[in-house]
Amino acid sequence: MAVSISRKRSKSSRKQEAKQCYFGLTILFNFLSRISVLVFLIILIYMWSSFSTLITGNIIHVCFSTRKFNSLYCVSAGTQPSFEIPTSTNNTSSIITPEMDQGNATTEPGKFPDIPYLVASKVDVNDRDKRVANAVKVVEEQLQLHRSWRSKSNKNYATCDGQGIYVYDLPSKFNKDMVGQCHDMVPWQNFCGYLSNEGLGEPIARLGKGWYKTHQYSLELIFHSRVLKHPCRVYDEKIAKLFYVPFYGGLDILRWHFKNVSNDVKDSLGLELVTWLERQGPWKRNSGKDHVFVLGKISWDFRRSRDSPWGTRLLELDKMQNPIKLLIERQPWHVNDIGIPHPTNFHPHTDNDIIAWQLKIIRSNRRNLVSFAGAARVDAEDKIRSTLIDQCTSLGNGKCHFLNCSCVKCDEAESIIELFVESEFCLQPTGDSPTRKSVFDSLISGCIPVLFDPFTAYYQYPWHLPHQHDKYSVFMDKKEVTQMNVNVVEKLANISSRERENMRRYIIYELLPGLVYGDYNAELDKFHDAFAITMNNLLQRVSRLEGPHNN
């Protein structure tokens, strides 16, 4: 459904949006009132059986619509991301869990505290500040290490020079069989359309060539199809230096997420995979250090805590500490977790596809100063979203456009991209976890992202985003915003047109090509896409490994 973008958003238009939401609820109520008690009970029983695993303790998190499923982390909400702070910068693998009040070492499911609250509230303030500073220093040191692995090659693909890539031919239960379960993977919809075209999904004709209905959790399929055609791929494991494990761990999580199964069942395939790998010669030679996994969900979903029902414990297994894990969101204090871009809906086939899109968005009439596509999180502790919505909608002068995802299907790429292409700045508050696919949607639309938490992007993507954050984004501390010390829209209005233009040109011409994944037959020459950048850096990294296999 297209969203019309008006030059001015009056109070009457905001009232009209509210009426539309209310009208929809009225229709739903009238419909339900006509259903017999027996039919209604049958529906309730079905819904209970389908979503029983989503109701745990004091947390009730049920997704009944495709809009919710496609908002960033609805399916992941409830993961327990207990930020763990290293005790020392001398050993980045040495990690402790901070003691929280009443000995609770994890944050509440779906809640991400600010860094100052990652440590115990009972400790001395000075000691707490030191530990927080140390934690941040560890993150920055790891990112600096990751950046040191960047390839210097000016070619789309680095010269192989004997650094062959071996792709394991895993038993189909570890990947293809899960794709075949797409029909009942999500109870309320057929998920197969999203997994078609090698994970790109179905084409979006309205947005033009190279645009697809790509789901944010499709990265495993997209990467697998590309690496099979990589020019450095070898079929003899003895001459390979990098080993790619095409395990669809994100789909493994997703297929059990809405079923009432035990944690043992959720963990079983990952444990079986590790057992299978331990029997392979390449794994034995280097203890998995030269192996890479691409996992299409956030790191927390693979780090299930205690007896929580959310996700698996794949990345907590001892045998999984050595390999490189590429994820759309990394665990900031695990050096072998590396963040790579969320897949967007744009998958160019040739250089000309990228150039055509660059020309289109650089010439776009950006009628909105600020836009925000999202919904309020009334149960969120920091209230950042509610504050931003209030600031955006209270102006009434057309400077800020709020696309209310409570009333509009924001999973439709057309709605989001059309809004972002017509906006100067795009607000990107955190959701159920720090990162957002929307950050990359805004960047590839030439809309300058406004961030409120450094973990949303700055501590995540060392290979694809530069260290100079102010070249492509604006940062505002969310405490200052939620305490009403800063009016976001007014502050953004004070940024000069020249500064905006410089940032936009940098985003469009320098960053954009490296943030998108070309299609499965991509023929890119001038540009390095997100896949090429990642693979080149992996080859650079593996060339520095020490071990019997790399001497």
The string of pLDDT tens digits covering residues 381-401 is 668 999 999 999 987 777 899
Q: Tell me, what's the pLDDT at 18?
A: 44
pLDDT band for 188, please (50, 70, 90 cuts): confident
Angle between helices 249-257 and 219-227 (to 10 degrees): 150
Map tokens 């494990």 to a residue: 245
Per residue in 221-239, pLDDT tens? 999 999 999 999 999 999 9
Name every residue whose Cβ is closer than 8 Å to that of residue 146 and which is 6 or more positions away in sequence: 338, 462, 463
Per residue in 407-430, pLDDT tens? 767 878 999 999 999 999 999 999
Mean pLDDT for the chain overall: 80
Q: Tell me, what's the pLDDT at 411?
A: 78
CA distance 539 to 551: 15
Per residue in 364-385, pLDDT tens? 999 999 999 998 876 666 689 9
Q: C-alpha distances in angstroms, 327 versus 93, 187, 536? A: 18, 25, 17
| Backbone angle region of 484, left / alpha / beta, with phi > 0 → left and psi within -120 to 50 → alpha | left
Burial class (CB in 10 A: 0-12, 13-18, 19+), 95: middle
pLDDT band for 127, please (50, 70, 90 cuts): confident
Backbone angles phi, psi at 425, to 5 degrees: -125, 145
Is the pLDDT reported for residue 213 higher than 90? yes
CA distance 422 to 366: 4
Segment 88-95 mean pLDDT: 35
CA distance 236 to 58: 53
Is the pLDDT reported for residue 65 higher than 70? no
Q: Say how far residue 369 (Cα) sits from the centre of its chain.
A: 25
Q: Tell me, what's the pLDDT at 221?
A: 98
Paired tokens of 96: 């402790």
pLDDT band for 272, please (50, 70, 90 cuts): very high
Percentage of the chain exceeding pLDDT 90:
61
Do 325 and 244 contact (CB within 8 A), yes or no? no
Lowest mean pLDDT: which of 13-27, 162-176, 320-334, 463-477? 13-27
Q: Tell me, what's the pLDDT at 26?
A: 52
Is the pLDDT reported for residue 105 higher than 50? no
pLDDT band for 456, please (50, 70, 90 cuts): very high
pLDDT band for 84, please (50, 70, 90 cuts): very low
Q: Say how far residue 106 (Cα) sits from the centre of its chain.
A: 21
Percentage of the chain exceeding pLDDT 70:
74
Paired tokens of 193: 């359309």
Lowest mean pLDDT: which of 14-18, 181-185, 236-240, 254-258? 14-18
Q: Tell me, what's the pLDDT at 189?
A: 77
Q: Tell me, what's the pLDDT at 314?
A: 97
Q: Tell me, what's the pLDDT at 60?
A: 29
- Please give the helix or strand (H or E) that residue 177 lies within, else none: helix 176-179
Q: What is the Cα gyration radius of the chain?
A: 23
Segment 117-130 mean pLDDT: 58
Is the pLDDT reported for residue 245 higher than 90? yes
Q: Say how far residue 511 (Cα) sits from the centre of its chain.
A: 17
DSSP character for 408? S
pLDDT band for 55, please (50, 70, 90 cuts): very low
pLDDT band for 337, please (50, 70, 90 cuts): very high
Is the pLDDT reported for residue 183 higher than 70? yes
Q: Tell me, what's the pLDDT at 38?
A: 54
Report the range out of 24-33, 299-308, 438-447 with the highest average pLDDT: 438-447
pTM: 0.80
In what side-by-side order are the strands of the sheet with 448-451? 400-404, 368-374, 423-428, 448-451, 474-475
CA distance 99 to 97: 6
Query: Which of the two residues, 45 and 277, has the higher pLDDT score?
Result: 277
DSSP character for 199? G
Q: Tell me, what's the pLDDT at 543?
A: 84
Name every residue whose Cβ is closer than 8 Å to that of residue 333 and which is 6 or more positions away in sequence: 83, 84, 85, 86, 92, 95, 135, 138, 139, 142
Is the pLDDT reported for residue 339 higher than 70? yes
Is the pLDDT reported for residue 41 higher than 70? no
Paired tokens of 412: 């439709």
Segment 473-486 mean pLDDT: 94
Do 40 and 32 contact (CB within 8 A), yes or no? yes
**Among the listed residues 238, 412, 356, 219, the one whose alpha carbon sits nearest the alpha carbon of residue 297:** 219
Is the pLDDT reported for residue 547 higher than 90? no
Is the pLDDT reported for residue 161 higher than 90? no
